[in-house]
């Protein structure tokens, strides 16, 4: 039996942009994607700390080092600029994989710079 566990988390990212006229997704800088172990087009759950809304979308690459977290398409309605969000990705693991599993978690400051790494 497989179980779904957290495999990657970007904690306390700040929304810096929202683009309603885009086909949909969340843009994350490549350096942050790599630090957290999130792939382009991977499904993620986004939790808005400011308003409590949760939604699912997929990730597209943003410019590395830019610090820009952009909600695109319908997701642009799920948060305001400067809101803090948690971005989480999950993996389906076999029972024997669970004991050795450790998610990658990065914590960001107000400029979307990594200030802490857990399980990385």
Active-site residue 58, yes or no? yes
User: For the chain, which residues make up each domain, given as ranges?
Assistant: 2-114
Confidence (pTM): 0.96
- 41/52 Cα distance (integer angstroms): 24
pLDDT tens digits in sequence order for the chain, 120 residues long: 999 999 999 999 999 999 999 877 999 999 999 999 999 999 999 999 999 999 999 999 999 999 999 999 999 999 999 999 999 999 999 999 999 999 999 999 999 999 999 986
Q: Which of 22, 23, 25, 27 is catalytic?
A: 25
Active-site residue 64, yes or no? no
Q: Which of 22, 27, 58, 102 is catalytic?
A: 58
Whose CA is closest to 11, among 75, 74, 71, 69?
69
> Which fold, 2-114?
Barwin-like endoglucanases (2.40.40)
Contact (Cβ atoms closer than 8 angstroms) between residue 116 and residue 39 = no
Around Cβ 73, how many Cβ atoms within 10 Å? Answer: 16
């Amino acid at each position: 039996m497989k179980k779904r566990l957290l495999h990657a988390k970007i904690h306390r990212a700040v929304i810096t942009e929202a683009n309603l006229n885009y086909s949909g997704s969340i843009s994350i800088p490549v350096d942050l994607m790599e630090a957290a172990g999130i792939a382009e087009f991977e499904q993620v759950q986004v939790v808005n700390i400011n308003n409590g809304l949760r939604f699912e979308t997929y990730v597209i690459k943003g410019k590395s080092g830019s610090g820009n977290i952009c909600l695109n398409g319908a997701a642009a309605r799920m948060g305001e600029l400067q809101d803090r969000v948690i971005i989480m990705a999950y993996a389906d693991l076999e029972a024997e994989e669970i004991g050795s599993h450790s998610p990658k978690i990065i914590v960001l400051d107000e400029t979307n710079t990594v200030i802490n790494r857990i399980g990385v």
